[in-house]
Chain A
C-alpha cells in the first residue's frame, strides 16, 4: 500500500518535472528578438525625448504597431509566451530593465531641456539597446533555471 503511494508520488513529481523542463526547453528566445526590441525601445525613447511633435507621433505609432507584431512573431516561432513581469523571481531582470530605461529617459530629458545638448540622448539610446539585449538574456537564463529547479522546491508553491 505504502509502495503504491510512493510510486504514485514518484510518477506525479516526474510529470511535474517533465512539464517544467519542457517549458524551459521551449523558452528559447529567437536571436532577432532582443536586438529588435532594443532598437525599438531605444529609438522610441530617443524620439519622444528629443524629437519634434511629428517625430514623436511617428515613434508612438511605430512602437504601438511593431510591438504586437514582434510578440506575435515570437509566439508563432516558439509556440509559447511568457510575460516578463509575471515570471516569479526572474522578473527582477524585467523590472531592473524598466527602471534603467526610465532613468535613461530622465537623463535624456535633462540633457535636452536643461543643458541643451542632444548627443547624450543618442548615446543613452545605444545604451538602452545594449541593456535590452543583456538583461533580456539574463531574464531568459533566470526563467529556465527556476523552471529546472526540483519540483519539491517550496518556491513552486509560490507560483513560480
Chain B
C-alpha cells in the first residue's frame, strides 16, 4: 500500500465514514448519520464530497417499502483510505 496523504479523506467525519465503510461492505445512510451523530444534511454533504471524488457509491435499491439509500466504498475509495492511513502511520513512525 502506497502511503498517500489525502485531503478529501482526512476530514474527521469523512475519515470515520471511510473507516466504517472499509469494515463493512455496505451501510445504510441512517446508520452513517447516527454513527456521526450529525444531521441528515451534514451526512449528505460529506457523502457528496466522497462521491464526487469517486470514493463512495450511493445506491437506492428498489423493492418493498420505502427506498433507503445505501453507501459503499469504491475500489478507489478503499485505496485512498488505506493510503491515507499509511501516510498517517508514517508520521508516527
Label chain B's interface by main secondary structure: helix
Bound CA–CA A151/B19 (angstroms): 9
Check B27 against A79 for contact (C-beta < 8 Å): yes
Q: How far is the CB of A152 from chain B (nearest CB, A)?
A: 6
Chain A interface size range: 20 to 34
Please list the residues of chain B having a beta carbon within 8 angstroms of any beta carbon in chain A. Answer: 1, 10, 12-13, 15-20, 22-28, 30-31, 35, 63, 65, 68, 70, 78, 82, 85-86, 88-89, 91-92
**A80/B26 contact (C-beta < 8 A), A72-B63, A152-B92 known:** yes
**A9 near B: Cβ within 8 Å?**
yes
Q: How far is the CB of B2 from chain A (nearest CB, A)?
A: 11
Check B20 against A152 for contact (C-beta < 8 Å): no
Which residues of chain A are near B19, meaning CB under 8 Å?
15-20, 23, 151
Check A79 against B28 for contact (C-beta < 8 Å): yes
**A11 near B: Cβ within 8 Å?**
yes
Partner of A16, one of B15, B26, B63: B15
Label chain A's interface by main secondary structure: helix
Please, could you name 19 A-B residue pairs with CB atoms under 8 Å apart, sorted by A? A5-B91, A9-B91, A9-B92, A15-B12, A15-B19, A19-B20, A19-B22, A19-B35, A22-B35, A23-B19, A23-B20, A26-B24, A26-B31, A81-B26, A82-B24, A86-B25, A152-B89, A152-B92, A157-B89
Partner of A12, one of B15, B25, B68: B15
Check B88 against A19 for contact (C-beta < 8 Å): no
Which residues of chain B are near A75, meaning CB under 8 Å?
26, 28, 70
